[in-house]
Structure 1
Amino acid sequence: MSPRWISYWPALLLVPPIAALLLWPDANRQLFLALHPWLHHAPAPLWRFASVFGDWPTVLALLLALSWRAPQRLPALVVGSIAAILLAIALKAGFAVPRPPLVLPHGMVDLLDKLPGNGSFPSGHAMAVAALATFAWHGARWGKAAGWCLLAALVMLSRIAIGVHWPLDLLAGAMLGWASMRLALSHAWPAGWARDVTRTAQMILLVLLAGELAWLLGHHGVYAEYWLRVGIGALVLLSGFARLARSGR
């Protein structure tokens, strides 16, 4: 296999199961029914904590932190994230696939969190964590890529365990998240922006993160993972402003 094709290994991995679930829709339902109760052998807090790493606010904070060592990737962060978010919004509204608790008989889904009010397809959490993993492993060795893949898989499984997504939602979401960020890394100013533009963009992103953190603090969460979201956001925010202050001296 040539190096060019090796770089497309996420697509080669995801396309066959996506195609199979599209060809046999009942397999999508049966796979959910098999995995959902089996995953409940692990404690519910584990799945809710894992799901945090697929929340866009948390993912954007982590992407920003990762970009500090590779500021030339900041354009990809912005373009890839916006593209993935807009794509998720459009597809969820267009397909309007109902989530498992809305179509399965009562008692077959044990919800571990609140049921989102939007469509199920594709999974926004899968898109977000796949975009994060793609950004993080870009140009890295296979060992690092494997670690990020494990995180993405854990987030995807958490959405089945929580009871809010079908397997097809997650596989398609991961594919779209990878494609969005990979295209951005390849084509969105791959050499990066000028230093002043980069600094301004970082400042804007930190201000947006501060606004998100203020909103979180004003809407206290129900479960303990709320504080994980707050902690990640606060740590990235403080570190980011400290870095900007040092670089401006």
Structure 2
Amino acid sequence: MARIGDTYGVVALVLPWGAWLLLRRHYAAFLHIGAGLGAIALLNTLGKALIGRPRPDTPDYLTGSLAFPSAHASTAVVLYGLAAAFVAPELPSRYRFWAYWVAIALAFPMAISRLVIGVHWLSDLVGGALMGLVVCALVRLAWQRRHRPALTPCPWLLLSAASLVLVSARVAWLPPV
């Protein structure tokens, strides 16, 4: 989970989706999602620098890294939360809630894994998740300011498989960052 939620893992997950958005000329969606991920990266960096909270346990690959907020938790909330927020409107109304449940099912284990391996305090996870929710809300508010074309049809299964292959390769061959 640590490798899936780091920079390389997030890039591996979003690369097929970003490429599809660009190829289909959904530039506004690409920019909004990119802005959300960029904003959460900036807020994580600023939060860690301003708060300066040490980790409960620091493995060698995290030496010099601080705890609050949990970048893994906040990035997972933004990544999966925005995915759900962009997918849900394209689904029939009776299935929309499933997009959000899938996002929760993906983000929650990411956050909890940080607590289990001992590199974050519970408050780091809560703070990161709340910060991620705020970023998701701000991105969606900006997105909804004007009418946007539908993002369908989208090859969800193909893009999901491509993300899974790339993130598996990341976990297997690249060291933690």
Which of 102, 114, 118 is the aligned partner of 1:147? 102
Cα deviation for residue 183 of structure 1 reads 1.0
Runs of 4+ in 1 over 4 A off after TM superposition: 188-192
Specify the SS of the correspondent of 2:67. Answer: coil
Letter in 2 for 1:157: I
Specify the SS of the correspondent of 1:51. Answer: coil
Specify the SS of the correspondent of 1:101. Answer: coil
Cα deviation for residue 122 of structure 1 reads 0.2
Distance 1:101-1:51 versus aligned 2 partners, 3 A rule: closer
Letter in 1 for 2:122: P
1:15-26 correspondence runs (5 A): none
Distance in 2 of aligned mates of 1:190 and 1:58: 32
Distance in 2 of aligned mates of 1:148 and 1:226: 21
Letter in 2 for 1:66: W
Count of residue pairs the alignment pairs up: 143
Hey, what does 2:34 align to over in structure 1?
Answer: 78
Q: Which consecutive unaligned segments of at least 5 residues does structure 1 have?
A: 1-49, 103-110, 193-212, 214-223, 231-249
Specify the SS of the correspondent of 1:164. Answer: coil
What percent of counterpart residues are identical?
32
Q: Which consecutive unaligned segments of at least 5 residues does structure 2 have?
A: 89-95, 149-165
Cα deviation for residue 53 of structure 1 reads 3.0
Contact 1:96 1:118 in 2 (8 A): no
Which of 60, 67, 91 is the aligned partner of 1:120? 67
Letter in 1 for 2:115: I
Distance in 2 of aligned mates of 1:93 and 1:60: 24
Cα deviation for residue 61 of structure 1 reads 3.6
Distance 1:181-1:57 versus aligned 2 partners, 3 A rule: farther
Specify the SS of the correspondent of 2:2. Answer: helix
Distance 1:159-1:116 versus aligned 2 partners, 3 A rule: farther
Which of 179, 184, 193 is the aligned partner of 2:139? 184
Distance 1:66-1:93 versus aligned 2 partners, 3 A rule: same
Hey, what does 1:107 align to over in structure 2?
Answer: none
Question: Once structures 1 and 2 are overlaid, which stretch shifts more, 177-186 or 60-69?
Answer: 60-69
Pair 1:164-2:119 in alignment: yes
Distance 1:226-1:62 versus aligned 2 partners, 3 A rule: closer
Q: CA RMSD in A?
A: 3.0
Distance 1:229-1:179 versus aligned 2 partners, 3 A rule: farther
Hey, what does 1:59 align to over in structure 2?
Answer: 10
Distance 1:55-1:229 versus aligned 2 partners, 3 A rule: same
Provide, for residues 215-238 of structure 1, a one-character-per-residue CA deviation record: whole Å limited to 9, x for no partner: xxxxxxxxx9732769xxxxxxxx
Higher relative contact order (CA 8 A, sep 6+): 2
Provide, for residues 76-103 of structure 1, a one-character-per-residue CA deviation record: whole Å limited to 9, x for no partner: 122111111111111101100011127x
Distance in 2 of aligned mates of 1:57 and 1:119: 19
Which of 73, 76, 88 is the aligned partner of 1:129? 76
